Structure 1
Amino acid sequence: MGRGAELTGPGAGSPAVFTWEEVQRHSHRGDQWLVIDRKVYNVTQWAKRHPGGFRLIQHYAGEDATEAFTAFHRDVKFVQKFLKPLLIGELAADEPSQDNNKNAAVAADFRALLTQVQSEGMFEAQPWFFCLYLGHILLLEVGAWLLLLLWGTGWGPTLLSIILLTIVQAQASWLQHDLGHLSVFKRSRWNHIGQRFIIGHLKGASAMWWNHRHFQHHAKPNIFSKDPDINMVKVLVVGTVQPVEYGIKKIKFMPYHHQHKYFFLVGPPLIIPIVFHIQAMYITITRKNWEDLAWALTFYIRYLLCFVPLYGVLGSLAFITFVRFLESHWFVWVTQMNHLPMDIDHEKHQDWLSMQLQATCNVEQSAFNDWFSGHLNFQIEHHLFPTMPRHNYHKVAPLVKALCEKHGIVYQKKSLTTAIVDVFWSLKNSGELWLDAYLHK
């Protein structure tokens, strides 16, 4: 049965030893092991209570999760106390530290880089940066309401208020994104409160829903069945693999060779006002997450109190719907320009650096691009160091680029215009691949 057959467990004599083959057998929802720093953990029961969601752990079941574990947990020593009861053994001495196709040299160099940037204080947030950022969001929101109060609800003030509130919603998305990644405060409790204030009170959504969804994206970006951001619900086919698979199987839920056209009707305008809000509320209620529901309700109560006296109930609903419509366009282009034109495939079991660089690209730095994207123009650095405060991305970027050059890993950087246009071309190319496979294979 192998060297791990007699499982002794922690504190019961010498630790059990396992081969990678044995670990990889435990990769199912009801039986999940993973490896961190050569230690083997049975996380089957813990997955249900994992703050990042059970799917995040499930995506690494049967694998080495060292790099992902280090990337997601700002205070690794603190988290170790939760791991200790789950320890069941370790890898056999003659087993490599990396599994599958993970490059040991790349992993070692990236770990050295991580140690370097930690020692240089790049994971320390500047409170003034985030205070100013929140300040400009609150100022714009108050300004939008006062504008209507003082100048009336004519077309001019209404349109200007809609623009201001669209900026508020988009910029609040980027700020709650920072808080969700624990990159603002050292103490997770303050990140917890701050994120729920931003996404709940300022946006009317659920922090838990966003965290569980978004962390999966970071853990396995652009990987089918593991990254929810590329789950296009059969409306779109993406990348170069899925279109051919759909074509060969004669799958045609939509006329995919026209997807680069109808994307403008179903993608940017509908993601936030329809898909995300329905999904967020459904998950919040079905999972009985009453805290997030309470925070979200404060947004709607505040909004109705401020705008119903000005526009009435139907007018207020139309007003916020239009704001959501515009915000959705902003959100979709910013989040997709870094990922959709990149490699999208099934699981390849790559090391952290290689996996993230194949799925992400950067957009050139400028004051406008930084503000417009919430520093997600540094998508590569954000994916490699998800808990790093965004104001330090430009500092670590040259170090990441040098490491990529050393190992021959492509580090892509585009102009904002090129990145946005590439979303269109990638959808067009995918649609053509589907049509060719559908007709001829």
Structure 2
Amino acid sequence: MAAKTKTTKKSQSDAAAERYITTEELRRHNKASDLWISIQGKVYDVTAWAERHPGGALPLLSLGGQDVTDAFVAYHPPSAWALLDRLCVARLADYAVSDASRDYRRLVAEFARAGLFEKRGRGALLVLAAMLLMLAAAVYGVLASSSAIVHLLSAALMGALWMQSGFLGHDSGHYNVLPTPALNRLVQVVAGNCMAGISIEWWKQNHNAHHIACNSLDFDPDVQHMPLFAVSAKLFASLRSAFYGRTMRFDRAARLLVSYQHWTFYPVMCLARLNLFAQSLVLLLSPAKRVPHRAQELLGLLVFWTWFPLLLSFLPSWTERLAFVLVSFAATGVQHVQFCLNHFSSSVYVGPPRGNDWFEKQTAGTLDISCSPWMDWFHGGLQFQVEHHLFPRLPRCHLRRVAPLVQDLCKKHGLQYSSSSFWDANLRTLATLRAAALQARDLANPVPKNLVWEAVNTHG
């Protein structure tokens, strides 16, 4: 029976190798019920596999009916190639590779030969140790001191702890920060769910969609913040979010909020953690959503929602408890600002991502933050956003090293490579928000002509 099964699989593979289709025919297989993709000229039927895909079904649906070689190379280790043969159904008769893609794949291969994807350093262990020290210091400050100032400093330390948790969760979601997948998973749950109250599975689904469709207004959840923010007037068309499965309505309430978004940006970022808490719970408590390790995820959140309220209960008054929460949220709000700086002021587009311009879309939709090496801890690797989007499996300790190679490649192919200081990136983001805000006001009513209004908006 085993020999017969092996022979059957071989005959199916041989049949697939002899069948050729065109790119135009491939495009027709782009639905959940009929989903094909192409990788290096081979065509794969991933219809049944999509729901079991570790990165979620949405990345496959977003790129369905296309050549996805660059995205596959970016996200998957060599071991993943062996899993593809059983899904192969044909070959592309008109398969072609752009010069930019060819150079990009060559660079990925060079990094792999140099072992850069496997050399992780000791960064994760150092971050974990720092997080435990910050947690111990924050708890000690609350329990051992009666000073309100010490309590506020402890709250700020808690915010710094959550920032490092975010960086570590981000890294561990892209590659194994520790030697084994089991240890990597443990780090994710402890650092994310238990210590920060954020579901790592929610983050994976959100972040994978962001990477695949970087800065697509209707496919990338990281630029979908209606009704609070709109990074482009194209969102005023009430686009439908492919990630959330709902229309992002630009109604009267959204128009009002967007009209003042350059004023409300930083205050909202100070409370943005509330949204992460809510999104995590919505996903994990939704029976209609497929969530790997759901029970484990919920247990991790239960740990957080046990120890954090318990810690707050040791503060002497409700005033101090509220102040502790606000200060800790505001401190970690710096990280939420960082997430926005990398993309809000970059190029955006409408529609699904395209697999054959991977390199171009990733460089156009991202912004690096220039800083000295001694500030790398503050940015957690996110300052090399272009490099990270092109090589998401690359440990952050190598991003500074490969940045000049990416810059050379962009220059060779005439592609955009954007980099700004942290200060300038904030100014660019505010300018983007203000431009969209003024367009929203024009849609609502003519701008009132009075000196106070003009003064406010001149310096807004």
Measured after TM superposition, the shift of residue 437 of structure 1 is: 6.0
Deviations 1:282-316 (A, max 9, x none): 1012146111111121222233444434458x679
- SS of 1:351's partner is helix
Does the 8 Å contact 1:239/1:340 carry over to 2?
A: no
Q: Does residue 301 of structure 2 align to residue 280 of structure 1?
A: no
Count, aligned residues: 418
In the TM superposition, residue 81 of structure 1 has moved relative to its aligned partner by: 3.8
**What does 1:2-401 align with in structure 2 at a 5 Å threshold?**
9-12=12-15, 15-73=18-76, 75-77=77-79, 79-92=80-93, 95-98=94-97, 104-152=98-146, 154-239=147-232, 241-243=234-236, 252=252, 253-255=254-256, 256-265=258-267, 267-273=268-274, 275-286=275-286, 287=289, 289-311=294-316, 318=322, 321-347=325-351, 349=354, 351-367=357-373, 369-401=375-407
Question: 2:455: which partner in 1?
Answer: none
> Cα gap change, 1:277/1:13 in structure 2, threshold over 3 Å: closer, same or farther?
closer
Q: Secondary structure at the match of 2:269?
A: coil
Cα displacement (A) at 1:149: 2.5
Task: Give 1:245 deviation, angstroms.
Answer: 8.2
**Which letter maps to 1:82?**
L
Partner of 2:432: 426
1:45 is paired with a residue of what secondary structure? coil
Secondary structure at the aligned position of 1:214 is classed as helix
Mapped partners of 2:85, 2:320: distance in 1? 53
Task: Report the CA distance shift for 1:300/1:434 in structure 2 as closer, same or farther (over 3 A).
Answer: closer
Distance 1:316 1:124, change over 3 A: farther
CA contact 1:341–1:423 (8 Å) conserved in 2: yes
* Alpha-carbon offset, residue 323 of structure 1: 4.8
- Over the aligned positions, Cα root-mean-square deviation in angstroms equals 2.5
User: Structure 2 vs 1, CA of residues 241 and 310 (structure 1 numbering), >3 Å: closer, same or farther?
Assistant: closer
Give yes or no for contact 1:175–1:198 (8 Å, CA) kept in 2: yes
Secondary structure of the residue that 1:232 maps to in structure 2?
coil
Distance, in Å, in 1 between the alignment partners of 2:68 and 2:16 is: 26
Measure the CA separation in 2 of the matches of 1:44 and 1:124: 31
Secondary structure of 1:318's counterpart equals: helix
Deviation of 1:281 (Å): 0.7
Provide the rounded CA distance (Å) in 2 between the counterparts of 1:263 and 1:11: 57
Percent identity over paired residues: 28
CA distance, structure 2, for counterparts of residue 136 and residue 395 of structure 1:
24
Distance 2:349 2:168 in 1: 30
3-state SS of 2:122 partner: helix
Query: Alpha-carbon deviation of 1:132?
Result: 1.4
Q: Aligned residue for 1:3?
A: none
User: d(CA) in 2 for partners of 1:218 and 1:49?
Assistant: 19
8 Å Cα contact 2:160-2:332 kept in structure 1: no
- SS of aligned partner of 1:88: strand
- 1:158–1:118 CA distance, 2 compared to 1 (3 A): same
Superposition deviation, residue 163 in structure 1:
0.9
SS in 1 for 2:415: coil
Retained in 1: the 8 A contact 2:227–2:250? no
What do residues 9-30 of structure 1 show as CA deviations (whole Å, max 9, x unaligned)? 5354753211111110111222
Partners in 1 of 2:388 and 2:17 — Cα distance? 40
Distance 1:62 1:323 in 2: 48
- For residues 29-60 of structure 1, give each alpha carbon's deviation from its aligned partner in whole angstroms, at most 9, with x where no partner exists: 22211111111111112111111111111111
Aligned AA for 1:285? L
**In 2, Cα distance between equivalents of 1:311 and 1:23:** 65
Distance across 1 between alignment mates of 2:131 and 2:54:
28
CA distance 1:151–1:328, change in 2 (3 Å): closer
Instruction: Give secondary structure in 2 for the equivalent of 1:268.
Output: helix
Q: Distance in 1 between matches of 2:152 and 2:406?
A: 43
CA offset at residue 188 of structure 1? 2.8
Q: Give the deviation of 1:207 after TM superposition.
A: 1.1
User: Which stretch of structure 1 is more off in the superposition, 280-289 or 106-115?
Assistant: 280-289
- Is contact 2:387–2:403 with CA below 8 Å preserved after alignment? yes
Decide whether aligned partners of structure 1 residues 14 and 408 sit closer, same or farther in structure 2, where only a CA change above 3 A counts: closer
Q: Which has the larger displacement, 316-325 or 118-127?
A: 316-325
Q: Take 1:356 and 1:31, find their aligned partners in 2: how far apart are those partners?
A: 27
Give CA deviations for 1:101-135 in whole Å, capped at 9, x if unaligned: xxx00000111111122222222334422211211
Q: TM-score, normalised by structure 2?
A: 0.84
**Would you say the 8 A contact 2:37–2:44 is kept in 1?**
yes
TM-score normalized by structure 1? 0.87
| Counterpart residue type for residue 260 of structure 1 | H
Aligned amino acid, residue 44 of structure 2: Y
* Alignment check: 8 A CA contact 1:15 1:88 kept: no
Q: For the structure 1 residues 18 and 315, does the alpha-carbon distance in structure 2 shift closer, same or farther, using more than 3 Å as the test?
A: farther
Deviations along 1:180-224, one digit per CA (max 9) or x if unpaired, are 111523533332221111101111221111101101111111012
| Unaligned 5+ runs, structure 1 | 1-7, 99-103
